[in-house]
């Protein structure tokens, strides 16, 4: 189990937007995580010996900036006070970008926060899905937020949701995102999860999504940054890891306690972050304890935790037995398996077809073409 890589804390469930594909429940609840919950969470994780040398604190599940600047200064101090010497951490915030001000940028620099901005592309893409609560598009406000980041020299990345509309216009999306000035860009295919029980990507074929990713790849190469797109970068690393015969490591989402998710009330879970807060016929929910009243030892004794961990590992074994892409993937996302296939103990999902398999194919095809034409030097920058 572990070591802990991501401590995911829900600063607030509240979000000021109402994106049509959002899977989060409770977005109108205006509560903030109590400092006592943060303190107890860190203390109990440290006591359990789950932290190796470094980990990330990820502020997630709601719009994190809605919690306010003072909240993060206090949270940072509490975390530091409760960590033994020699352990370091970094803050990561994924924001919708609409609330970023110069003061937020000062905080990001002060606490060395890794900032991600959620934005899907130019207005005709972004504002078709990323709406505020009055139904208005949000792109202008995102651009204003990004401008503050740039004015204050705060580096950031973007994450975009790929919908059925997005796959038709890779050039427009790539050039728009590049013009915002991020260090790199990432794409999440619209998922079936939680309260979002359909996906527009269901009507898209793997070939169409492959053409989208291939075009992003070409555009990245053309500007001299083949790793500018996160999914391509991950595929490069996975392919090179396979070529170099690196030992298999279980992906974080399948590795018990590599990720610990804590909600606004102190309830905690593990595995895929999306599981916390979701309901399920067999398991009821995916809460394994509450840091205000229990800890990691109780979690290890929990029958539900053991059953879920076993099913997830069995699902990884199923992937290994059935899937040619296993060495590049490691067994996929438990939450996608559960919500698409009805069981953690399953293999292929629409999500892995449309993300892992398609992207791996795009990268392998280009590598094969390069080797055939005897110009592998193109890959020097990838390996560097
Ligand atoms: S690509 Fe899909 S089926 Fe293959 S190993 Fe990954 S999750 Fe499993």
Average pLDDT, the chain: 92
Helix (H, G, I), strand (E, B) or coil at 49: coil
Instruction: Classify residue 248: in a domain, yes or no.
Output: no
Kindly give the distance from the C-alpha atom of residue 329 to the centroid of ligand 1, in angstroms, as a whole number. Answer: 6
Instruction: Classify residue 102: in a domain, yes or no.
Output: yes
Ligand 1, atom 3, residue with closest C-alpha? 348
Report the C-alpha gap between 267 and 275 in whole angstroms: 12
Helix (H, G, I), strand (E, B) or coil at 128: helix
Which residue range is the domain that position 112 belongs to? 6-243
> What is the DSSP-derived secondary structure letter of residue 247?
P
Kindly give the distance from the C-alpha atom of residue 341 to the centroid of ligand 1, in angstroms, as a whole number. Answer: 13
Report pLDDT digits (tens) over 326-356.
999 999 999 999 988 999 999 999 889 988 9
**How many structural domains is the chain composed of?**
1
Top pLDDT among 22 and 269 is at 269
Atom of ligand 1 nearest to the CA of 356: 1
Kindly give the distance from the C-alpha atom of residue 193 to the centroid of ligand 1, in angstroms, as a whole number. Answer: 18
Atom of ligand 1 nearest to the CA of 322: 3
Instruction: Classify residue 205: in a domain, yes or no.
Output: yes
Give this prediction's pTM: 0.92
Instruction: Classify residue 273: in a domain, yes or no.
Output: no
Instruction: Classify residue 201: in a domain, yes or no.
Output: yes
Instruction: Classify residue 195: in a domain, yes or no.
Output: yes
Residues with CB under 6 A from ligand 1: 319, 323, 325-326, 329, 331-332, 347-348, 352, 356-357
CATH number at residue 197: 3.20.20.70
Report the C-alpha gap between 214 and 238 in whole angstroms: 17
How sure is the predictor about 294, in pLDDT bands with cuts at 50, 70 and 90? very high
Q: Where are the alpha helices (DSSP H) in the chain?
A: 35-47, 69-81, 102-110, 123-129, 139-151, 170-180, 206-222, 230-243, 296-301, 303-322, 326-329, 334-341, 350-352, 358-372, 380-383
Kindly give the distance from the C-alpha atom of residue 320 to the centroid of ligand 1, in angstroms, as a whole number. Answer: 8
Instruction: Classify residue 159: in a domain, yes or no.
Output: yes
Report pLDDT digits (tens) over 210-256.
999 999 999 998 998 989 999 999 999 888 888 788 888 899 999 99
Instruction: Classify residue 313: in a domain, yes or no.
Output: no
Tokens linked to 150: 């740039």
Report pLDDT digits (tens) over 190-210.
865 555 556 677 788 889 999
Among 331, 336, 354, 355, the mutation site with the greatest number of ligand 1 atoms within 8 A of its Cβ is: 331
Among 325, 333, 350, the mutation site with the greatest number of ligand 1 atoms within 8 A of its Cβ is: 325
């Amino acid at each position: 189990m572990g070591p802990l890589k991501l401590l995911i804390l829900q600063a607030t469930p509240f979000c000021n937007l109402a994106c049509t594909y959002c899977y989060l429940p409770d977005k109108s609840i205006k509560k903030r995580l109590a400092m006592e919950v943060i303190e107890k969470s860190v203390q109990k994780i440290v006591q359990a010996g789950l932290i190796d040398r470094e980990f990330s604190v990820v502020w997630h599940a709601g719009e994190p900036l809605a919690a306010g600047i003072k909240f993060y200064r206090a949270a940072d101090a509490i975390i530091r006070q409760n960590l033994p010497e020699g352990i370091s951490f970094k803050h990561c915030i994924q924001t919708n970008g609409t609330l970023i001000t110069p003061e937020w940028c000062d905080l990001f620099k002060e606490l060395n926060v890794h900032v991600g901005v959620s934005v899907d592309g130019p207005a005709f893409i972004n504002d078709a899905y990323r709406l505020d609560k009055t139904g208005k598009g949000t792109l202008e406000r995102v651009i204003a937020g990004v401008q503050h980041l740039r004015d204050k020299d705060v580096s950031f990345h973007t994450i975009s949701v790929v919908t059925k509309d997005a796959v038709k216009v890779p050039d427009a999306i790539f050039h728009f995102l590049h013009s915002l000035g991020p260090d790199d860009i990432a794409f999440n295919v619209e998922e079936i999860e939680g309260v979002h029980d359909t996906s527009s990507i269901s009507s898209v074929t793997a070939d169409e999504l492959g053409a989208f990713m291939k075009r992003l790849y070409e555009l990245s190469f053309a500007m001299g940054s083949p790793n500018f797109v996160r999914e391509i970068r991950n595929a490069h690393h996975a392919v090179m890891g396979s070529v170099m015969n690196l030992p298999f490591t279980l992906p974080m989402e399948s590795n018990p306690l590599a990720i610990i998710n804590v909600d606004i009330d102190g309830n905690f879970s593990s595995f895929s972050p999306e599981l916390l807060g979701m309901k399920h016929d067999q398991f009821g929910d995916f809460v394994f304890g509450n840091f205000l009243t229990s800890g990691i030892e109780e979690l290890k004794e929990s029958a539900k935790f053991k059953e879920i961990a076993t099913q997830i590992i069995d699902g990884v074994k199923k992937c290994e037995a059935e899937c040619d892409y296993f060495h590049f993937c490691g067994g996929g996302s438990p939450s996608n398996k559960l919500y698409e296939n009805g069981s953690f103990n399953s293999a292929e999902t629409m999500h892995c077809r449309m993300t892992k398999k398609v992207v791996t194919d795009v990268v392998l095809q280009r590598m094969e073409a390069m080797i055939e034409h005897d110009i592998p030097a193109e890959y020097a920058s990838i390996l560097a």
